[in-house]
Amino acid sequence: MDDQYIALISGFVGALVGAGASLLTVWIQARHWLKQQRWSHREKHYLELLSSLNRLKLSLEDRSEYYDEPSSEHDASRSEGEHFKELSQTGYEALRAVREQIGPASVFLSTNATSAVEKLIREHWHTSQGSVCTAEYVRSSLSLATDAYLALLEEARKELADVQGA
């Protein structure tokens, strides 16, 4: 009877160990799936913000080319052309989109990513009010937009690496 009892207990323990291993595998797979789902929500917000920041950055880069020549920042006529005005409108719309997107995105994005974009918005206002000329505004705003873009891109890449490594 002892042998039958030991065989029964061994079978029961073996079944439990097998079920435990299967349960652990299911738990790991579920955890990985949830992490991927969270990334897909974050990805949407990262892509929207990066796209808007890139449009802002490109419009500022193009406007900065109007001031490449020495002393050109003192020539007010450079900012009066139709193309310059179109670039300004593109930049305005891009910044407005960033301001609208950061609120909802703050739920999903890291603190570093959110802080970088909020810094751009906050300091852009001061730049727009305190610049002596359009050229100074463009150069300062381009620096702010580039910093925010690079910080957000770095955070997005870090989070994607974490998801892929999981």
**Residue type for position 139:** R
pLDDT score recorded for residue 43: 84
State both tokens at 108: 């999903």
Task: Return d(Cα 72, Cα 63) in angstroms, integer.
Answer: 12
pLDDT score recorded for residue 79: 82
Contact between residue 132 and residue 22 where contact means Cβ atoms under 8 Å apart: no
Tokens 């873009």 found at = 149
Dmax over Cα atoms in the chain, in whole Å? Answer: 104
State both tokens at 164: 């892929």
What is residue 35's three-state secondary structure?
helix
Residue ranges of the chain whose pLDDT lies below 70: 1-2, 5-21, 23-24, 26-39, 74, 163-166
| 69 DSSP assignment | S
Tokens 């079920």 found at = 19
* CB contact set of 15 (below 8 Å; sequence gap of 6+): none
CATH of domain 41-165: 1.20.120
pTM of the model: 0.74
Task: Return d(Cα 110, Cα 101) in angstroms, integer.
Answer: 14
Task: Return d(Cα 155, Cα 158) in angstroms, integer.
Answer: 5
